[in-house]
């Protein structure tokens, strides 16, 4: 009985030897080599195959440009040959060109309802209502947000003016100001939208309650391709006594996304700001391109758009300052 019990044990080495013999010549029982080890194990590769390769970014980059003259008025009627687009200083080939007046708009209208804006709130709401009625077409959509210590979406994206008016009527004053949160959440809501994406922020520029910081709000706006317009409500624009930290940050977000900022302290100034925003949105240009091969390790690419020829010396172009090749988490 003891001898019979040992037989399977004695056969185990023989079975292992037989299994190894069945392996193809040069094959081993080791795990697969990682890719870089496999490359080293094939010295017969040609020199061309061993050359380093660089990734080509095939993402279509959309650049929405506003051209203005010396008087600050939008300039329409330009054509594709009138523009040159640069990425990190290198000229790019424009793959898509369009005048933007016909493309649909997605607008986030974010209104500051904190305690510091209470006395101006009615003026803001009246002007916002007129803007909505003037700018929206059936193909467009507007989402209404209010922000104080929290950010609330009162109306999701819609072109129904009755729903928007009803949402404006529901706006109520709050306490603190979560301005960066409003920019961040509005940008995330715009990210999945098609066509042009615009955010209009009406605020006194302070921020006292946000959970995200300036850098996160700016990056979210850039990643969503949102154009941010800021209407800053102040009694006196040049007052040295007010807190301008959040105000300057909002101005920078507007500049870096190709938008614009306005100061307003009265209903006519509010209406004029909204009118200028509407004029710009009807005369923008789309310049889209596939980036040329990149050798930089940075995930941020800088963009510059110029108007060619002698006319370019008298015209200014506003557009987003750049884009990220990878989305933030």
What are 45-69's pLDDT values in tens digits? 444 334 433 344 458 999 999 999 9
Q: Which two tokens stand for residue 312?
A: 């370019």
Please say whether the beta carbons of 274 and 130 come within 8 A.
yes
Return d(Cα 211, Cα 183) in angstroms, integer.
12
pLDDT of residue 10: 37
pLDDT of residue 54: 37
Return d(Cα 65, Cα 296) in angstroms, integer.
25
Q: Which of 52-61, 70-79, 262-271, 312-321 has the lowest mean pLDDT?
A: 52-61
Q: Which residue, among 244, 158, 242, has the nearest Cα to 193 in the 3D structure?
A: 158
DSSP code of residue 120:
G
Mean pLDDT over the full length of the chain: 83
In this prediction, residue 130 has a pLDDT band, given cuts at 50, 70 and 90, of very high
pTM of the model: 0.80
**Span 247-275, pLDDT tens digits:** 999 999 999 999 999 999 888 999 999 99
Query: Per-residue pLDDT for 146 more than 90?
Result: yes
Matching residue, tokens 């370019």: 312
Position with higher pLDDT, 8 vs 136: 136
Query: Per-residue pLDDT for 28 more than 80?
Result: no
Other Cβ atoms less than 10 A from the Cβ of 284: the count is: 24
pLDDT of residue 57: 45
Percent over 70 (pLDDT), the chain: 78
Matching residue, tokens 């190894």: 20
**Span 89-128, pLDDT tens digits:** 999 999 999 987 778 899 999 999 998 888 889 889 999 9
Query: Per-residue pLDDT for 29 more than 50?
Result: no
Domains by residue range for the chain, with CATH = 61-329 (3.40.50.410)
Please say whether the beta carbons of 169 and 252 come within 8 A.
no
Q: Which two tokens stand for residue 183?
A: 């920019």
Q: Which of 26-35, 73-82, 182-191 has the lowest mean pLDDT?
A: 26-35
């Amino acid at each position: 009985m003891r001898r019979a019990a040992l037989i399977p044990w004695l056969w185990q080495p023989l079975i292992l030897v037989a299994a190894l013999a069945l392996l193809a010549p040069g094959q081993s029982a080791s795990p697969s080599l990682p890719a870089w080890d496999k490359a080293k194990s094939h010295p017969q590769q040609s020199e061309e195959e061993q050359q380093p390769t660089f990734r080509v970014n095939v993402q279509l980059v959309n650049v929405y440009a506003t051209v203005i003259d010396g008087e600050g008025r939008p300039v329409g009627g330009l054509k594709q040959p009138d523009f040159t687009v640069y990425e990190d200083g290198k000229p790019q080939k424009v793959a898509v060109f369009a005048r933007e007046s016909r493309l649909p708009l997605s607008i986030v209208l974010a209104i500051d309802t904190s305690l510091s804006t209470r006395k101006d709130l009615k003026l803001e709401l009246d002007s916002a209502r007129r803007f909505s009625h003037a700018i929206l077409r059936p193909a467009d959509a507007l989402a209404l947000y209010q922000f104080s210590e929290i950010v609330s979406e009162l109306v999701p994206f819609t072109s129904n003016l009755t729903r928007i008016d009803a949402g404006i009527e529901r706006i109520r004053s709050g306490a603190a100001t979560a301005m960066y949160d409003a920019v961040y959440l509005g940008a995330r809501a715009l990210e999945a939208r098609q066509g042009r994406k615009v955010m209009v922020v009406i605020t006194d520029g302070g921020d006292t309650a946000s959970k995200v910081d300036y850098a996160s709000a700016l990056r979210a706006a850039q990643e969503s391709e949102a154009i941010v317009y800021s209407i800053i409500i102040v009694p006196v624009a040049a007052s040295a006594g007010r807190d301008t930290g959040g105000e300057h940050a909002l101005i920078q977000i507007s500049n870096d996304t190709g938008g614009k900022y306005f100061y307003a302290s009265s209903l006519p100034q509010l209406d004029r700001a909204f009118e200028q925003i509407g004029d710009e949105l009807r005369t923008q240009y789309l310049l889209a391109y596939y980036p040329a091969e990149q050798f930089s390790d940075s995930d941020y690419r800088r963009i510059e758009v110029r108007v060619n020829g002698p006319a370019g010396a008298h015209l200014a172009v506003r557009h987003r300052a750049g884009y990220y090749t990878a989305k933030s988490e």
